[in-house]
Structure 1
Amino acid sequence: MEGNFYLQRLVFWAELPNPTVDGTLHLSVFSEDVAGKVVLITGASSGIGEHLAYEYAKRGAYLALVARRENRLREVAAVAQYLGSPYALVIPADISKIEDCKRCIQTTVTHFRRLDHLVNNAGVSSVNLFEEYDNLQNAVPVMDVNFWGMVYCSYYGIPHLKQSRGKIIGIASSAAWLPAPRLSFYTSSKAAVISFYETLRVEVGRDIGITIVTPGLVESEMTQGKFMSKDGHLYLDQQLRDATVSAMPIMPIDDAVKGILRSVCKGDRYATEPRWMKMAFYYKTLWPELVEWFNYLINMRGSSNSPTDTFGKRLVQLSGLKNWFYPDSVRSPDLDVETN
């Protein structure tokens, strides 16, 4: 009972408005109108980045879409303009490279003469047990994309965002709170993102709004099973996906991005979708041993030596929960996810 009392108190205080750096109270009363504003989105060729582009487009924003897959970006740009964006600029780039990040910002500002929102979304997931790596250098791209890509874009974007009194939206993950097996590098990179933006908020928070987004499992190429192998290559493995995701519900992408953009326009400091995932943070804080034991039971224990034959995977398959917890796009056995 005592633990539940303190948990309720934590939830209560977490829902209160947050003070800004100068000590004034931040009240999320008014929603920003992004019509006519310039929004740069990294990782815009799929998942959260793609669908955030569509939501911004519906609200009349100009878009700069960044990702490696130019053909896919052009498809997203065409849909965005159909949905209401006055113009969607396509910028093929690899954000793990500092020169590409600098070029993305410069190209956007040269074309539109301003930058209002910088959505740092691009990410990749490596799903391997730590001891499975033959060469740890193959895990370096996870940190290069998930963390350094956001750092580079933020560095070059801040001068322009200060002029427009704009916003940075950093897409981290609620996985940063949880000791999930096979996700050691991914969770570490997302924890670094949260810490980076919390510190940056102290430094520039009076001039630039910063929203840290911590999604749970959301319909995307990652939850479809697109991972980085221990050899450093992207591939599709739905069996490994089932073993990793197990009995956790996957949120439909449209619902997730609507909630995220709603929080961004309100000026919220943090956004979590689905909202119930916030509870994972409090459980991890109050009962870390319980969370570790549960994750081991669900995601590590199995009836064979196969790394994908876990208790959580069997539970989902035998109980029929997969039909309830996984959207159609994730359940399909005939997925054709690009792995380049």
Structure 2
Amino acid sequence: MELSLKDKVVLITGGSLGIGYYTALQFAGEGAKVAICARNETRLQEAVQNIQHETGQEVLGMTADVSKRDECFRIVNQTAGHFGRLNILINNAGTSAANPFESVTDDLWRYDFDLKLFAALHCSKASIPHMRKEGGGSIVNVTAVIGKAPPSSSLPTSVSRAAGLALTKAMSRDLARYQIRVNTVCIGLIRSNQIEQRWKREAGDLSWEQYSKDKRHNIPLGRIGEPQEAANVVTFLASDAASYVTGTSVNIDGGKSVVL
């Protein structure tokens, strides 16, 4: 399958770890020009060096806090200025925040929406003029399956992710006239620092493979997913191979979710 990503310019928020990192690695491996941002300068530079070493492609690393509007516009314009254009945006920045409703403070509500919803909104808004100049583009919002079917004690993440799903559909309808596609991937249990911390806390006597395949997770495919598997789907949706796909969501959860 031809992804046609060579020399395309992609910006990935939250690109120093996990799904963001592996997505950046995947794009660079396909010959794309990659920009990533993260808050932690040390991890950011490690990611940049590792991706460049693995792929031989130039990677632009930018320290940024995308919960702030001005930072979103800065990294988009910096990417387009450095590479001369912007074709693809991956809104990946975020963290897990799962609490009972009554324990969520106003400050946590605001921060979660700033980081997960408004960051995607602001980065997308800043990217649209650059994509229109190129005759089109692609935006992929990384959300979560709990946005479709929130379990108990899943706040505020489940609500901000649900808003991200609505944002994806609304944007896809408005931006199709410019040949800008907008899709979302809904993440389930994927290996990450947070999942590994849970593993060590809950079952440190088990190996990762044993913990991943433990029946307590209730995953039909029988294991926790790897970040590379999520990156594969993100890359496909952003590529020309998915040129007739917009306004849709794809669950990456091993079949665990009860919703489509």
TM-score, normalization by structure 2? 0.84
Superposed displacement of residue 273, structure 1: 1.7
| Distance in 2, Cα, partners of 1:132 & 1:238 | 23
Q: 1:45 and 2:24 equivalent?
A: no
Superposed displacement of residue 31, structure 1: 4.2
1:1-340 counterparts in 2 under 5 A?
31-84=2-55, 86-133=57-104, 135-164=105-134, 165-207=136-178, 208-225=180-197, 238-239=201-202, 247-249=217-219, 250-265=224-239, 266-267=241-242, 268-269=245-246, 270-274=249-253, 276-277=255-256, 280-282=258-260
Closer, same or farther: CA 87–225 of 1 in aligned 2, 3 Å: same
1:260-280 CA-partner distances (Å, limit 9, x unpaired): 322332223333224625x52
Instruction: Letter of the 1:218 partner, please give it.
Output: I
Closer, same or farther: CA 68–237 of 1 in aligned 2, 3 Å: farther
The structure number with the bigger radius of gyration is: 1
Q: Check conservation: 1:225, 1:237, Cα contact below 8 A.
A: yes
Instruction: Letter of the 2:119 partner, please give it.
Output: G
| Structure 2 residue matching 1:77: 3-state secondary structure | helix
| Structure 2 residue matching 1:209: 3-state secondary structure | strand
| Structure 2 residue matching 1:210: 3-state secondary structure | strand
1:23-46 CA-partner distances (Å, limit 9, x unpaired): xxxxxxx74311111110000111
Closer, same or farther: CA 68–218 of 1 in aligned 2, 3 Å: same
Superposed displacement of residue 64, structure 1: 0.8
Ranges in structure 1 where 5+ consecutive residues have no aligned partner: 1-29, 227-235, 283-340
1:84-131 CA-partner distances (Å, limit 9, x unpaired): 252101110000000101110111111111001100000112122122
| Distance in 2, Cα, partners of 1:148 & 1:142 | 9
Instruction: Tell me the residue number matched to 2:206.
Output: none
Q: CA RMSD in A?
A: 2.4
Moved more, 90-99 or 249-258: 249-258
| Distance in 2, Cα, partners of 1:154 & 1:42 | 11
Q: Check conservation: 1:218, 1:251, Cα contact below 8 A.
A: yes
Instruction: Letter of the 1:251 partner, please give it.
Output: G
Superposed displacement of residue 78, structure 1: 1.1
Q: Which runs of 4+ in 1 moved over 4 A?
A: none
| Distance in 1, Cα, partners of 2:66 & 2:193 | 18
Instruction: Letter of the 1:94 partner, please give it.
Output: D
Closer, same or farther: CA 184–87 of 1 in aligned 2, 3 Å: same
Moved more, 259-268 or 67-76: 259-268
Q: Percent identity?
A: 27
| Distance in 1, Cα, partners of 2:40 & 2:117 | 20
Per chain length, whose mean CA-contact separation is higher, i.e. which structure has more relative contact order (CA < 8 Å, sep 6+)? Answer: 2
The structure carrying a bigger strand percent of its residues is 2
Instruction: Letter of the 1:211 partner, please give it.
Output: N
Q: Check conservation: 2:140, 2:234, Cα contact below 8 A.
A: no
Superposed displacement of residue 237, structure 1: 9.0
Ranges in structure 2 where 5+ consecutive residues have no aligned partner: 203-210
Moved more, 215-224 or 183-192: 215-224
Closer, same or farther: CA 106–180 of 1 in aligned 2, 3 Å: same
| Distance in 2, Cα, partners of 1:168 & 1:85 | 25
